[in-house]
Amino acid sequence: MACRNENVQLIVSSPIGDICIVSCTSGLHSVSRMNANFAPQENIPVVIKSGLSHEELWPPVADAVKWLRIYFHRPKEIENAIRPALCATLIA
């Protein structure tokens, strides 16, 4: 079944290069690394580079950005981090 909701694409920076997040209002469709060639840099923060502003983020996208920040910069907290929802069309 194909998703009929509006989709957005967001690019965030990360210690492993830029990450593309594609989501609808119901949940994530994909999370993928954009840079095939990169040099990991632990000090790079997870920040939105393009796409929606923080005020416009749909809950699944906001949760994904928060999860990535915890994963890369506070890994001891990852067990308690909210996992972003997946779009039901990916699960069906």
The mean pLDDT values, 10 residues at a time, for the chain of 92 residues are 87 95 94 87 91 76 96 96 93 73
State the pLDDT at residue 45: 95
State the pLDDT at residue 10: 92
Residue with tokens 């997946």: 86
State the pLDDT at residue 51: 74
Which CATH code is given to the segment(s) 8-90? 3.30.160.70
Q: Report the alpha-carbon distance of residue 76 to residue 87 in Å, rounded.
A: 27
- Flag whether the pTM goes above 0.75: yes
In the 3-class helix/strand/coil scheme, how is 39-91 assigned residue by residue?
CCCCCCCCCEEECCCHHHCCHHHHHHHHHHHHHHHCHHHHHHCCCCCECHHHH
State the pLDDT at residue 55: 62
- The string of pLDDT tens digits covering residues 33-56 is 998 787 889 999 999 998 766 667
In one-letter notation, the amino acid at residue 53 is: S
